[in-house]
Amino acid sequence: MVAEPVGAGRGRKVLIVEDEESVRMTLRYNLAARGYVVLEAGTGTEGLELMRSRNPDLVVLDLMLPELSGEEVCRAIRAESDVPILMLTARGSETDKVNGLGLGADDYMTKPFGLKEFMARIEALLRRSERPQRTSAPSERIRVGGFVLDASSRRVLVDDNPVKMSPREFSLLFFLLSHPGRVHSRDAILRAVWGPDFNGDSKTVAVHIRWLREKFELFPSLPFRINTVFGVGYRVDIAPGIHLQR
């Protein structure tokens, strides 16, 4: 279902994945009144299909959904896109919040919620997402042995094999490889890769690091490692005898 915008808004698309029709109706009315195009899904499956076919600017995602859970939808979205995700759910414990942010959500609100705060968080997430990433120069290329990262084409190759990754994973990898041997705290990585206005949980850094490691597990010849420096942060270490070229 699609509700077209009312008024002279910018027409950015917000996907609401929520099985409670009353909540969808309230959010639809308030978002459309401010000029948003509102996409609606009542199940996790439908939400993921709309995400892939309509390419929204932001996703409002409930956790307790039929067919596919919110956790499964969030994980699937994050494997393909860095679209901002606002989790909206009745689960309000600290553990639930940490788990949601750890899956890759950018923000988390519990029901019942205030519409003014909801709209403020939507606007904040969209402002941050509109700011250009500055972690890579358009023509920069990094080569380490059989590994190549090409910023102009946004491609990563290991021994000529392409490695698929989301834009955020690419930016994170570029940042770490730009400073081999240097330890970066989670907060420093958040500022550099997610932007200075990001107010989400730093656990998202650990999640993205884990995803990068999982992708590279298939390549035992990888000439570098992303190591954890416990209590400090993360560091890229290049194998002895191999040099980074730019």
CB atoms within 10 A of CB 197: 11
- For the chain, residues classed under CATH 3.40.50.2300 are 2-130
**pLDDT recorded at residue 185:** 93
Task: Print burial letters for 123-134: b (CB count within 10 Å at least 16), e (below 16).
Answer: ebbbebeeeebe
* Fold observed for domain 141-245: Arc Repressor Mutant, subunit A (1.10.10)
Listing from the earlier edge strand, what are the strands of the sheet with 85-89?
Answer: 2-3, 37-41, 13-17, 58-61, 85-89, 107-110
Q: What's the rounded Cα separation, in Å, for the pair 9 and 104?
A: 28
Q: Where are the beta strands (DSSP E) in 130-177?
A: 141-144, 147-150, 155-158, 161-162
Closest CA to 145 of 234, 226, 219, 221: 221
Between 88 and 137, the more confident residue is 88
pLDDT band at residue 88 using 50, 70 and 90 as cut-offs: confident
Residue 159: which of 219, 212, 217 has the closest Cα?
A: 219
Contacts of 203 (CB under 8 A, 6+ apart): 98, 101, 102
Express each pLDDT in 112-131 by its tens digit.
889 999 999 898 888 877 65
Here the tokens at position 109 are 């609100």
Chosen CATH of 2-130 out of 3.30.40.230, 3.40.50.2300, 3.30.565.10, 3.40.50.800: 3.40.50.2300
What are the residues facing 161 on neighbouring strands?
A: 158
Give the residue range(s) of CATH 1.10.10.10 domains in the chain. Answer: 141-245
Q: Work out the angle at residue 214's Cα, subtended by the Cα atoms of residues 72 and 220, and round it to the nearest 5 degrees.
A: 160
Q: Which residue has the tokens 């393909």?
A: 80
For 192-241, what is each residue's pLDDT tens digit?
Answer: 887 776 666 677 888 889 889 999 998 988 999 999 999 899 999 999 98
From CA 96, how far away is CA 94, in angstroms rounded? 5
Q: Are 56 and 13 in contact (CB under 8 A)?
A: yes
**Strand, coil or helix: 208:** helix
For range 150-175, the mean pLDDT: 88
Here the tokens at position 178 are 């730009």
CA distance 205 to 212: 11
How high is the pLDDT of residue 98? 65
Collapsing DSSP to helix, strand or coil, 59 comes out as strand
β-bridge mates for residue 244, sequence order: 144
The confidence band for 184, taking pLDDT boundaries of 50, 70 and 90, is very high
pTM of the model: 0.62
Distance of CA 163 to the CA centre of its chain: 18
Residue 157 has what pLDDT? Answer: 93
